[in-house]
Chain A
Amino acid sequence: MHLSNDILLAAIEQQLPGVVLSHEESYGMLTLETTREQIIPILEFVKNDANLQVNFLTSLCGIHYPDQPGRELGVVYHLQSMRNNFRFRIKIFFSIDDPIVPTATTVWLAANWMERETYDFYGVLFTGHPNLKRILNVDDLDVFPMRKEYKLEDGTRTDKDDRFFGRDGHEGQLLE
């Protein structure tokens, strides 16, 4: 079967109406946005569907947009159907004050460490995860270091600030 962005989108819409909040194509790759309540049903559907055969979780990672109130944190799933040679990604966003997402380890075992890494760096709590603890950082670290509020540079330095990287020094906004 030849799988295309349109076919995949139609298949998901038909099976699970209304779960796709928005979709776009970025450099040819279909990007869907859904909610954390719907992510596991979508993953299960695309994995088990006899035509789609999305058999592989390529990658799972967190992302932090501090200037999106109520949907600051996100998790991005890259999925792949090896038989159809097709890739796409799914995103979910949620509030940083309520970073709870159901685990994908029930669908793919590979999600185990990827979710631990996402927890470690972004503080996303995956409910149902068998062993959710830090993986790369030390156990007693009390921050989630990939969140944008943790600056890489020493805050007292004045010779390197965000303006040198095309962004406003205070809010991290792009310079126009």
Chain B
Amino acid sequence: MKKPPRGPTAVSALQAALAAEHAAVYGYGVVGAMSTGATETLARADWLAHQEARDTLEAMLVKLGATPVAANPAYQLPFPVTGDASAVRLAAALEDGVTQAYLGLVAVTDRTLRSFGALAMQPPANRALVWRGTTVAFPGMPTTSTNA
């Protein structure tokens, strides 16, 4: 009997990353709307970066013969965003989510996708650093918030 494949497939991992990018694009809309000045400017730049990443993932999925997962009409925010401070916290949380999704790609066996996933973790981790002001020991890992 044929063994089922271990770990995520390339398509499912790419779809998870795309779903995270969709959520980030939506979330940054909220971050931009609820922030002012330099925070708003930074949010706009990051919003554009996530749109670009989303388009890259969609193209990769189409190339694999898959239908890219669509964005939801709306997303539940992890906490109320009422101003600059909470907008900054949301931006960091969005970047953590995207970093974690790309780490999922590293678990696939395809070498090219594994490298792509590992490299794709760096921009969101660096953006999270800018928003949070501190580094974490294990970006993308479930224990990120505890820094160990």
Q: Is the A/B pair a real complex?
A: no
